[in-house]
Amino acid sequence: MDFTKNFVRSKNPCAEGFRWYLRHQRHGSEYQPLLDHLVRDGRVDDACWLLDQVGPVNTVLKLDRLECDAFVYAGSIEVLESIDVGSVLRVGGSVRCGGSIRAGKDVLAGQDIRAEGGLNCAGELECAGSLRADGHVTAGGRVRAGDLKVAGNVSCTGRMSIVGAALVKGDLLAGGDCTAKSLSVRGCLDASGSLRVWQGLICAEGIRCGSHLDAGWGIKSGADITSAGAIRAGEGLEAGGAIRAGRGYGIFAGLGVQREEWETSARVSARNRPIGLMSGFWTGPQPCTPALLHGHDTWEQDHAD
């Protein structure tokens, strides 16, 4: 693909970026060499903008290690060992890394991200496909992915948004709202904002939510379920400890079930009857841990690689 002056102008670049192009690339350039030149000149944002405008390519770059100040590549990358980038790591395709990934700012991929170690970035973490890591995942901003599977803890200072299923084998700490199609956490789950799961939510330890807690199916926790707002479940609620909503808010089970089916499909169990229980069938305290762990293991098997 040859980037002529007319082609670049058709993308409506900023005035400063277009002047840079006229000074350095007036005779045209190939796609990736132009991205590389922008990055070398410290114009990383312009390189990312160009990748947004033109889109990914099918090339695959294979490296032993990747260490640089910033990296913008239109295709996919496969790195045998680790990735260490001082600022932005931006890839149009997928990222596969045999070790850990570290970036001083954002890590963004148009497809999958796979790290056989941990992943640590000081900015946003985003991929349109699957996010997989065999260690801890830490982000200084929001986390967005098609689906998520992490063998360690997950921590982000911003919002966490997973389109599909999310499995975290450690703790999950979100500094904002947290949403997923289905969510399974082996450790504790703490979301500073609202927590919304379209299907089921399973947590082996406690669940804490800084706003409203919603699940389209059921919610199971091996310890307390605590929300600063309302707690709403389409089916049952099961906690090894207490179930507590915020002051003045209610607790609702069976919102997706006919009242005649509450005894079997909208059961509520906890250490004590929750204050503000508005719907569902209260069973009294039940030993929820074995069923919880069984359901958790089943979920992992269904979503294994």
151 and 132 Cβ atoms separated by less than 8 Å: no
pLDDT score, position 12:
57
Predicted pLDDT of residue 54? 87
Chain centre distance of CA 260: 37
Q: Which amino acid is at 266?
A: A
Q: Would you state the pLDDT for residue 299? A: 40
- Would you put residue 12 in left (φ > 0), alpha (ψ -120 to 50) or beta? left
Alpha-carbon distances, residue 236 vs 142, 181, 239, 245 (angstroms)? 30, 17, 10, 15
Type of residue found at 267: R
* Residues 160/138, Cβ–Cβ less than 8 Å: no
pLDDT along the chain (305 residues), means of 10: 56 57 59 89 89 92 97 97 97 97 97 97 97 97 97 97 97 97 97 97 96 97 97 97 97 96 96 96 73 42 43
What lies within 8 Å, CB to CB, of 6 at 6+ separation is none
Q: Determine the pLDDT at residue 5.
A: 53
CA distance 229 to 5: 55
pLDDT of 30: 81
Do the Cβ atoms of 139 and 151 come closer than 8 Å?
no
Q: Structure tokens of 181? A: 């199609």
Computed from CA positions of residues 166, 171, 175, 176, in that sequence, does the dihedral angle turn out positive or negative? positive
91 near 110, Cβ under 8 Å? yes
In angstroms, the Cα distances linking 242 to 204, 268, 296 are: 14, 11, 20
- Burial classification of residue 282, based on how many CB atoms lie within 10 Å of its CB (0-12 exposed, 13-18 middle, 19 or more buried): middle
Residue 250's pLDDT is what?
97
Distance of alpha carbon 119 from the chain centroid:
12
pLDDT value, residue 89: 98
> Tell me, what's the pLDDT at 288?
53
User: pTM for this one?
Assistant: 0.86
Residue 209, classed as helix, strand or coil, is strand
